[in-house]
Chains A and B, each alone.
Chain A
Amino acid sequence: MKKTTKNIVSASVAAVMMGGASLAHAADSVNVAFFLEWATPNQIAKVDKTYDDAMGVDVKWTNFSTGVQMTEAMLAGDIDIAYSQGLAPFVTAVQQGAPIKMVSVAVIYEANDCFVKNGLGINSSNASELEGKTVAVPLNTMADFAFRKYMQVLNVDTSTMKIVDQAPADGAVSLAEGSVDMACIFGGDSAKKAGEVGAPIMSSQQKRDAGIGSFDVVSVTEKFATENPGLLRTFLEVTHESNASWTASDAQLKKVAADAGMDVSTTKNQMSGFIFPTAAEQKEQFFGSDGVAVAAAESLGLVFKKAGAWNVDQKIGKVITGEYLD
């Protein structure tokens, strides 16, 4: 009775406050969040409905433009699995107490670049000249994380810089226009534009040597993971199968490009920088006893930790698990 009353109260309140209560989705479907313009081999399985066949349920895909929105949708109960959420939004969400967990690595890619304006004559050897300069950074993203890592490695004091919060597309424009001296960029198109007028502060090799890399995660709500471990396992299995059968053939590229909303050449270009680790590799490298996943999440958590926040480094490991990879 109490529960009923409470439900009535909450239903009417939700209806009033949000203009319609969010309906609990049917148990026979799984809702997955993904990014447009972020090409991954499992989009073939998505288009061919391999997921639906393998999991035996309807898999509904919804596209998002940021990882933060994915978290919000997961908290609202509209999304069960977020495929390829950035590590940064995942960690900040966990820091804010969101009941989600990381169950797999979606894609490993080179850390986002920071482009120094051509003509300044600054590269990794004289990076300290960046002190006092203006930098465009999309705050609290993987590009922000990469920026702070570069500056740490290159021994540049970021507190002397003027940091401007700009979306990648805006940052590329400002770099071209000359109002910023360096712009940290993610996304293929913006990076291409920034590359026209600037050069990355660290080369791919230097980044590898310094151990600066990025990866996107597969995150799920705690509720979905406890209640449907079987479905989750199958989802990851199908994902890894489509990764394994990826040969970058023209037919495959065409299919992925169409689904990702890009042309074939951009897709090809983007995917050439992606690594899709197998389940075995993930368990060994990322989710082992001293796995990369926890270490990366911890160091990222420390970068974005707000003053007085809880001790991220001790707890974030608990929401990172490779148990569904079998």
Chain B
Amino acid sequence: MLDWLSDNRALVAAVIILCLVSSFFASIFYGLKQTRLREKDQVFGDPERTVGGWFWAVCGVSTLLLVWFYFSWGSARAFFPQAANELCQVAKLHEAVSPVTSSLAIESRYSKSKTLLVRNSRQLDELQARLPANVFSPADAARVTLVMQNTQQLISMMATPDFVDQKTIAEIQAIKAGYAAITNELANPKLGWTAAADALAQPSWGITEPEIPLLPVSAKGAMYDALARDAAAISKDYLKIRNLAPAAKALIAETKAMIAALKKSPSTDDGDPQIVKERADYMKAVDRIFKRIDDGKIFPAEVMAEMQVAVQTMLDQAERSKGSLGIVEMLFFPAGDIVKSRTQCTEQGPGRWLPKPTDVVATFFALANPDVENGGGYKGTTLLWWKWLPISDVVSFVIPDALIDFLPGDYGRLNDDGRFEPNYKDWMLALAQGDVYLGAVPMLDGHIWDSLFRVLVAMFFGVLLGVPLGIYMGVSRFCKSFFDPMIELYRPVPPLAWAPLILTIFGIQDDGKIFLLFMVAFAIMVISARTGATGAQLSKIRASHSLGANDRQILRYVILPNALPEIMTGIRISIGVCWGTLVAAEMLAGTTGVGFIENVARTVSDYELIWVTILIMGSLGLIFDLMMRWVIGRLIPWRGKG
């Protein structure tokens, strides 16, 4: 069943999207109707106005999920499962012409010829201006200048139409004809393009690791694929073309010889290494510019303009020939492209960093599979499961090993007949180390439980210690003044700043992580309890005092109930912040936990896993908050009505 769902995730997504769209509209319809119904009998600002309204929650969740489906290209995959494959074939065409387009003014403002010419001419001028004075002999200096002039001349020769060789013109013509042929084929597609058998056997989009099948699975795709191969051959031909007329060739040969000679014969002051070096550096710079021109492709502007028209026409036609595919791409592939790289086609844009909802669910189920031996769980631990917890482990956790050392007597020794007879102290040690079987109890286990355990323990201690302290700070001058500087000094420090210290103090076990979370929870609980306690109305306190209540009773029956709403809000906030700190805490020494999964997933850019952990933490936070809201509703029904 799960496998079937996993293989047909596009279909599943399509059904879900349709449901979401209908619930989106239905909830708006119902919500508007309800609003009209109640409009008249509610005053603005009345808290009753916010009660209920599940339909708007449905609307909000549907919107969120629809946006997620849309931007992760999940809706594209659901309704147009072949689109990515076809776009991949189009991307192949773009990849094939990219060596040519990059030399033309198609994706940039100027052609490469132009930038090469301008840049190198400028550099030649600069070089000429800083010709060092005492390094070259006058004869050499003249020759160096000549080399630079020759290079300059070479540039202008290449850029002048009169000097272009007939052979080069013919080659360019052939290339333009090649592009025209492709344009023609794109405009009037031959019938009968079919997908090969091995292409159809590929897994569909998003099922396996190379996300998008590379071979064309549709007729349109097959056409682009074949034309991309033609275009690649043309690009290769283009890269081979050299704009070298006989005159230019002669000039190159001459200049090359001059450079070689100049490099070889340092005719002045060989003795001074500084001068030799300066000379070598200068010649290297001259040679570099010359080589760049020699290897570079500089063509006259007209020649390039014609090429540009040919390529641009072909690319425009490729765009037009997409037909319905173009519309799908525009509407369903927002903010990104399908890119062809050397071995595969990949989604670049939100499709990459925002995994599709169905993929996230699939990853979650793979992770949640308790069968660790067969690929379930993560790094050898389940996500959330149960196990038999030996009671001896709990005992050994409570009794420190060192305590046994203080018991009277010595540990057992080897007998003379070579056997070991443990005495009572050895037994006690075994107990303290958890080596004795005392039965087992079922216990939750897994990454989520480990994280949850850390948060809950930290929260427990945070509330247990923070609330009384906060309340006493609210009622006692001594407590307030004594603890205020301490609490306020450490409270604003971000938890991550403590992290390096925690590791040294507590080591790698749970206690360090719990302590880090506790520090976060504690500060918030103190502040909220204190604010709650100081917020009690004076008239109420005086009234109870005059009715004969003692200090204890005032605290119990007046201040505490008044502080409870603030304390509860404090708990809600600190649970949220604890989850936020968890990732940092589990970065210290990661063995298990949701934050650990995220930290490891980050190092391999596994976005699906990252989103699974984000959603797990989000939903756990949400569940806690809902529970707290329920508790608040039960515990302090007077909130907001006092």
Contacts and interface: CB of A to CB of B under 8 A. Distances in A.
Contacts of B292: 56, 230
Given A309-B209, A310-B210, A56 B605 contact: no
A139 interface: yes
Contacts of A223: 98
A98 B603 CA distance: 14
Contact of A56 (B110, B120, B334, B346): B120
A10 B590 contact: no
B110, B327, B330, B336 pick with most chain A CB within 10 angstroms? B330
Contacts of A89: 603
- 9 nearest interchain CB pairs? A99-B341, A227-B102, A165-B590, A179-B507, A310-B209, A13-B335, A97-B346, A140-B603, A10-B335
Contact of A13 (B71, B211, B330): B71
A27 B108 contact: yes
Interface residues of B, number: 63
B401 interface: no
B342 A166 contact: no
B346 A98 contact: yes
24 contacts: A2-B330, A6-B330, A9-B334, A13-B71, A56-B120, A57-B119, A72-B605, A92-B603, A92-B605, A93-B605, A97-B211, A99-B339, A164-B589, A165-B599, A170-B503, A226-B95, A226-B98, A226-B99, A228-B102, A230-B295, A230-B296, A306-B604, A307-B375, A309-B209
A56 B589 contact: no
Interface of A: 2-3, 5-6, 9-10, 13-14, 17, 27-28, 53-54, 56-57, 66, 68, 71-72, 75, 89, 92-93, 95-101, 134, 136, 139-141, 159, 162-167, 169-170, 173-174, 177-180, 222-223, 226-228, 230, 304, 306-310, 315, 318-319
A308 B203 CA distance: 13
A318 B330 contact: no
A13 B603 contact: no
Nearest to B347: A97
Nearest to A237: B288
A71 B591 contact: no
B231 to A, nearest CB: 13
B194 interface: no
A9 B330 contact: yes
B395 interface: no
B588 interface: yes
Given A10-B349, A27-B108, A140-B600, 13 more contacts: A13-B334, A27-B110, A54-B288, A97-B210, A97-B341, A97-B346, A98-B346, A136-B589, A140-B603, A159-B380, A177-B503, A179-B508, A310-B209
Nearest to A141: B603
B203 to A, nearest CB: 10
B292, B340, B343 pick with most chain A CB within 10 angstroms? B343
B99 to A, nearest CB: 6
Contacts of B330: 2, 5-6, 9
Contacts of B600: 139-140, 165
Contacts, number: 158
B109, B330, B375, B589 pick with most chain A CB within 10 angstroms? B589
B288, B380, B599 pick with most chain A CB within 10 angstroms? B288
Nearest to A225: B342
A97 B355 CA distance: 14
A75 B341 contact: no
B83 to A, nearest CB: 14
Nearest to B120: A56
A9 B380 CA distance: 44
B480 interface: no
A141 B503 CA distance: 21
B635 to A, nearest CB: 40
A27 B603 contact: no
A169 B499 CA distance: 12
Contact of A96 (B336, B602, B604): B604
Given A6-B329, A173-B500, A308-B209, A53 B285 contact: yes
A27 B587 CA distance: 40
Contacts of A230: 292, 295-296
B553 interface: no
A315 B343 contact: yes
Contacts of B349: 10
B115 interface: yes
A3, A99, A139 pick with most chain B CB within 10 angstroms? A99
B590 A166 contact: yes
Contacts of B288: 53-54
Contact of B344 (A27, A54, A97, A140): A97
Given A139-B600, A308-B208, A99 B342 contact: yes
B352 interface: yes
B509 interface: yes
A9 B327 CA distance: 13
Contact of B123 (A56, A162, A166, A222): A56
Contacts of B120: 56
Nearest to A53: B285
B592 to A, nearest CB: 10
A162 B591 contact: yes
